[in-house]
Amino acid sequence: MPIRVQLDRVLFERRMSLTELADRVGVTIANLSILKTGKARAVRFTTLAALCRELDCQPGDLLTYEAGPSEAPDEAGDS
Protein backbone atom coordinates (compact mmCIF):
# COMPACT_ATOMS: atom_id res chain seq x y z
CA MET A 1 0.00 0.00 0.00
CA PRO A 2 1.49 3.35 -1.01
CA ILE A 3 -0.08 5.23 1.94
CA ARG A 4 2.32 5.43 4.89
CA VAL A 5 1.34 6.41 8.43
CA GLN A 6 3.84 8.66 10.21
CA LEU A 7 2.26 8.43 13.66
CA ASP A 8 5.50 7.26 15.31
CA ARG A 9 7.38 10.31 14.05
CA VAL A 10 4.68 12.76 15.13
CA LEU A 11 4.37 11.13 18.57
CA PHE A 12 8.15 11.34 19.01
CA GLU A 13 8.19 15.01 17.98
CA ARG A 14 5.38 15.76 20.46
CA ARG A 15 7.01 13.64 23.20
CA MET A 16 3.71 11.82 23.65
CA SER A 17 3.12 8.13 24.28
CA LEU A 18 0.65 5.99 22.38
CA THR A 19 -1.19 5.41 25.67
CA GLU A 20 -1.56 9.14 26.30
CA LEU A 21 -2.81 9.71 22.76
CA ALA A 22 -5.30 6.85 23.06
CA ASP A 23 -6.70 8.39 26.26
CA ARG A 24 -6.99 11.84 24.69
CA VAL A 25 -8.60 10.64 21.46
CA GLY A 26 -10.82 7.93 22.91
CA VAL A 27 -9.44 5.18 20.67
CA THR A 28 -8.06 1.90 22.01
CA ILE A 29 -4.32 1.41 22.14
CA ALA A 30 -4.79 -1.69 19.98
CA ASN A 31 -6.48 0.31 17.22
CA LEU A 32 -3.85 3.06 17.35
CA SER A 33 -1.15 0.40 17.22
CA ILE A 34 -2.71 -1.06 14.06
CA LEU A 35 -2.73 2.40 12.54
CA LYS A 36 0.83 3.14 13.70
CA THR A 37 2.26 -0.06 12.21
CA GLY A 38 0.59 0.55 8.85
CA LYS A 39 -1.71 -2.46 9.12
CA ALA A 40 -4.91 -0.40 9.09
CA ARG A 41 -6.97 -0.65 5.91
CA ALA A 42 -9.02 2.47 6.68
CA VAL A 43 -9.31 5.34 9.12
CA ARG A 44 -12.45 7.33 9.91
CA PHE A 45 -12.31 11.05 9.29
CA THR A 46 -13.55 11.61 12.85
CA THR A 47 -10.57 9.62 14.17
CA LEU A 48 -8.17 11.47 11.87
CA ALA A 49 -9.62 14.80 13.00
CA ALA A 50 -9.24 13.82 16.68
CA LEU A 51 -5.63 12.74 16.09
CA CYS A 52 -4.87 16.04 14.36
CA ARG A 53 -6.55 17.99 17.16
CA GLU A 54 -4.60 16.25 19.93
CA LEU A 55 -1.29 16.21 18.05
CA ASP A 56 -1.73 19.78 16.75
CA CYS A 57 -0.97 18.70 13.19
CA GLN A 58 -2.47 18.39 9.72
CA PRO A 59 -3.57 15.09 8.09
CA GLY A 60 -0.57 15.38 5.77
CA ASP A 61 1.71 15.23 8.81
CA LEU A 62 0.29 11.79 9.64
CA LEU A 63 -0.23 10.32 6.17
CA THR A 64 2.08 10.28 3.17
CA TYR A 65 1.81 8.78 -0.30
CA GLU A 66 4.82 6.86 -1.61
CA ALA A 67 4.22 5.32 -5.01
CA GLY A 68 6.40 2.34 -5.73
CA PRO A 69 7.60 0.95 -9.07
CA SER A 70 5.59 -2.24 -8.57
CA GLU A 71 2.30 -0.41 -8.05
CA ALA A 72 -0.22 -1.79 -10.55
CA PRO A 73 -2.69 0.64 -12.20
CA ASP A 74 -5.74 -1.07 -10.60
CA GLU A 75 -4.17 -0.64 -7.13
CA ALA A 76 -3.90 3.07 -7.73
CA GLY A 77 -7.55 3.33 -8.77
CA ASP A 78 -6.67 3.93 -12.43
CA SER A 79 -8.72 1.01 -13.77
User: Could you tell me if residue 35 is inside a domain?
Assistant: yes
| Structure-model confidence comparison of residues 76 and 52, the more confident one | 52
User: Could you tell me if residue 49 is inside a domain?
Assistant: yes
Is the distance from CB of 18 to CB of 11 less than 8 angstroms? yes
- Could you give the percent of the chain with pLDDT greater than 70? 87
User: Could you tell me if residue 77 is inside a domain?
Assistant: no
Candidates 63, 48, 44, 53; CA nearest to 5 is 63
| Structure-model confidence comparison of residues 64 and 77, the more confident one | 64
Q: Roughly how many angstroms between the first and final C-alpha of the chain, as a whole number?
A: 16
Is the distance from CB of 2 to CB of 71 less than 8 angstroms? yes
User: Could you tell me if residue 75 is inside a domain?
Assistant: no
User: Could you tell me if residue 21 is inside a domain?
Assistant: yes
Structural domain range at position 25: 3-60
Q: What is the pLDDT of residue 63?
A: 95
User: What does the mean pLDDT of the chain come to?
Assistant: 89
pLDDT value at 66 more than 80: yes
